[in-house]
Structure 1
Amino acid sequence: MAQTHPDHPGELAADDPIRLLEIRDTPLSLDEVFRAVGDPSAGGTALFVGTVRDHDGGADVAALGYSCHPTAEAEMRRVADKVVAEFPVRALAAVHRVGELAVGDLAVVVAVSCAHRGEAFAACRKLIDDLKHEVPIWKHQKFSDGTDEWVGAC
């Protein structure tokens, strides 16, 4: 489990490889996430960006909204801790957006840095796959024909 700073509850300790974990209702930044996983001992950094696409299941997507359960950030932490325990992670970051998004908006950005590229790719894939399946974030898709659909965990 990642350690919190002893003098500042909630603040991450300097040696914690989990550098950024957040769910927010403002636009996401690739640069912010990439900078968060910068580490001079890392030879490989893998970054995944999930964007709102213009179609799903043969239907045209006009927009969508993400919402989450109050435990979502704690679940993100649990997933990140698992990845850090399973892979030789030097630094890890994950940010997911909630609220109303348009086609092309960034919905999720995750990144992992490790000593080698293969480790970074594997850890990043595990991170995004587990976030998608285990963190209680839901997607409400609105289609151009006026119909809509809720999708389980995003």
Structure 2
Amino acid sequence: MAQTMITVRGNLGANPDFLPAKTAEDGTLMQAKLSATVYENRRVRLADGTWQDDPRGPLKTTIQLFGRTAETAHRLDMRQGDPVVAGGSLAEPAAFVSPKDGELAARTVITASWLSFDSIRLQQRKDNEGQRAVQPQGTEPAAPAGDASPDYVDEPAF
């Protein structure tokens, strides 16, 4: 049976959780696990043809990695807010009771084959910081075309 691969691009909502490999009481080896939440910006097209951030907020996806892949991703020392890209297959969704309103909710979960920094967005941030550093005082730097915010994906999600 073929697995459908999915890719998520966004920012880490919190520092990833890492559980190192260990031996259980019954002698079985439990592999390492890394879990992270990625916030993916959603964009909506307005009646005038322009794009804006979706008022419902970002789409939150849980990424989980196991074994050596989890250990390798843990060594990258990713932190909350870092732009990342992950790819893998869909897992069972996480169901929970929302702490805000007590309603039942669910989140997409991906068992990832890989998780890495989004080097394109890291470079965009660096370029934007460089532009701000060379701007004369009292002037605002011009944002690159289509760049709504350096912390979010600036393309529409289809």
Higher relative contact order (CA 8 A, sep 6+): 1
For Structure 1 versus Structure 2, the TM-score category normalised by the shorter chain is under 0.3
TM-score where L is the length of structure 2: 0.22
The TM-score with structure 1 as length reference comes to: 0.23
Q: Which has the larger radius of gyration?
A: 2
More helix by share: 1
